[in-house]
Amino acid sequence: MRIVKELLFDSSTKHGRRFDLFIQFLIIVSIINFSIQTIPNLSKNQKWILNGIELFSVIIFSLEYIFRVIFSSNRIKFIFSFFGLIDLIAVLPFYLSIGIDLRSVRAFRLFRLFRLFKLLKYNNAISNLRKAFVDVKSELIIFSVATVFLLYFSAVGIYYFENKVQPEAFSSIFHSMWWSVATLTTVGYGDIYPITIGGKMFSSLVVFLGLGLVAVPTGLIASSFSKAFKDDSNK
């Protein structure tokens, strides 16, 4: 029991560090394996090897999750914690897809990419990253609410300007939401765009607002990152 706790929760020991490195290595291998599986015309032997690697990875990740739940001082807290949910999501799609060939279920296998988030718990620099987000959490929440409001406002505005002349592209406020997302994020795919004078003027305003949408949270997070890493270097 002591050895298991050391492996899972104490990365300062030799065994704990080795276990952390093994899990990190296995995460990377499983992600590469996931990518290779998308290559067309793989032979049966190649598929068998790739499936074997996937099965081995899932078994290890499953055992890690089970033991972390068993040996956690607060099991409920761990299960519903960020990393607890990530550990579960990383293996759950595999079990959901066993013996089922339905596309709707197999699509859940994409959640295997959540294994990348497992790397976050094994990197000291990530703790600074997490601290940076926590420091500006309240500002980001306020800004997120404002962003949702702005997206809706933009969708409503462009709908009333363009609906009559482009009823197929801007058939409803919900359809106009896609334009709002592409414009406010300054991506501008160009698949739908305004053609009326009012719509163009409104779009110009939305584009300028979109610049702030990207710049403000970027500045907040960058400043918080700088402070977090500076504090860490002074320890």
One-letter-per-residue 3-state SS of 4-39: HHHHHHCCCCHHHHHHHHHHHHHHHHHHHHHHHCCC
| Domain membership flag for residue 129 | no
Could you tell me the two tokens for 42? 């793989």
pLDDT on residue 53:
92
Same domain, 54 and 159: no
Same domain, 107 and 173: no
Same domain, 148 and 115: no
Q: Which of 122, 153, 188 is a domain's end point?
A: 122
Q: How far is it, in rounded angstroms, from Cα 132 to Cα 147? A: 21
Domain hosting residue 91, numbered range:
2-122
Same domain, 98 and 158: no
What are residue 138's phi and psi, to 5 degrees?
Answer: -65, -40
Cβ-based neighbour number of residue 224 at 10 Å: 21
Q: Which of 94, 122, 150 is a domain's end point?
A: 122
The CATH number that applies at residue 76 is 1.20.120.350
Sequence-ordered list of residues with C-beta below 8 angstroms from that of 231, at least 6 positions apart, any chain: none
| Domain membership flag for residue 71 | yes
Number of domains comprising the chain: 2
Per-residue pLDDT tens for 58-83? Answer: 899 899 889 888 888 888 988 888 77
Mean pLDDT by 10 residues, the chain (235 residues): 72 80 86 85 91 90 89 87 82 72 50 66 62 76 86 92 92 91 84 91 88 78 74 62
CA atoms in the 13 A half-sphere facing the CB of 58: 21
pLDDT on residue 217:
79
| Domain membership flag for residue 131 | no
